[in-house]
Amino acid sequence: MTETTAAPAKLSFYDRLKLATKHRFAEPILAALCFLEAMIIPVFPEIMLAPMIIADRMRAWRLAAICTISSVAGGLAGYAIGYFLFDTIGMAIINFYGAADGFQSLRQSFVDNGPLMILVGALSPIPYKVITITSGVAGLDLWTFVIYGLIGRGLRYFVPCGLFYFFGPVAGEFIEKHKKWAGIGMVALVIIGFAMAPLLFPKGGEALPEVVEQAVGVDPVPEG
């Protein structure tokens, strides 16, 4: 009589992602993702951050610090692109996000209201790389850029990490019961990150300066 062994259950996307978060390179990869998100790519680091905290909520604060520092470092790279390489690399990125038409107005807003612009960019859905590159083009004071970037990005990551720390077990139980939809949601976030970026800055309009200026409460800069 031969024994039959049951085939191993196929892992869901969420299960695979959860296993990946335990890899020894998971934290360096998360840091790289946050660095690049602040510099060039439209993606939400939370798709990796959330499962990592749910898998081990005791590292929530360390992960929040990693994300904040990496994002500010990536912002400095974006600043350098705007300051030194705007005519080549910087302008190509600005064009990709459809912010070229209103760019001069946006640049003037940074000259007039740099700290508030950094905070708005660090906390809002506005692609942060546009903010960091424009800071470099405008020649925003570097210490102002770093300090307000740390405040904004710190709030961006420490607040949700704190929520996951305190409510992680409940969220983990919910996701375990709905693994399929959790996986679909994470894939959707990646797609939305890439699809939404160009839509935030319609080509041929002044969408970006208007949105940011309304957020910080300043009047649009008149065109000369």
Residue 114 lies in a domain: yes
> What single-letter amino acid sits at 141?
D
pLDDT given at position 111: 81
Greatest mean pLDDT among 10-24, 49-63, 181-195: 49-63
Q: Has residue 145 got a pLDDT over 90?
A: yes
Question: What is the phi/psi pair of residue 97, to 5°?
Answer: -85, 5
Q: What is the mean pLDDT of residues 31-49?
A: 85
- Asked if residues 51 and 141 have their Cβ atoms less than 8 Å apart, the reply is no
When pLDDT is cut at 50, 70 and 90, the band that residue 75 belongs to is very high
The number of distinct structural domains making up the chain is 1
Residue 181 lies in a domain: yes
- Give me 109's structure tokens: 């807003």
Greatest mean pLDDT among 32-46, 58-72, 122-136, 209-223: 58-72
Residue 155 lies in a domain: yes
- Give me 172's structure tokens: 């983990």
Question: Structure pTM?
Answer: 0.72
DSSP state of 58: G
- Asked if residues 83 and 137 have their Cβ atoms less than 8 Å apart, the reply is yes
Residue 224 lies in a domain: no
Residue 5 lies in a domain: no
Q: What is the mean pLDDT of residues 161-173?
A: 72
Q: Which residue range forms the structural domain that includes residue 116?
A: 13-213
Q: How many CB atoms lie within 10 A of CB 152?
A: 24
Short-list 107, 34, 117, 40, CA closest to 78: 40
Residue 85 lies in a domain: yes
Q: Which residues contact 150 (CB under 8 A, 6 or more apart)?
A: 68, 72
Residue 60 lies in a domain: yes
Tell me whether residue 218 is exposed, middle or buried, using C-beta atoms within 10 angstroms of its C-beta: 0 to 12, 13 to 18, 19 or more: middle
- Asked if residues 28 and 66 have their Cβ atoms less than 8 Å apart, the reply is no
When pLDDT is cut at 50, 70 and 90, the band that residue 78 belongs to is very high
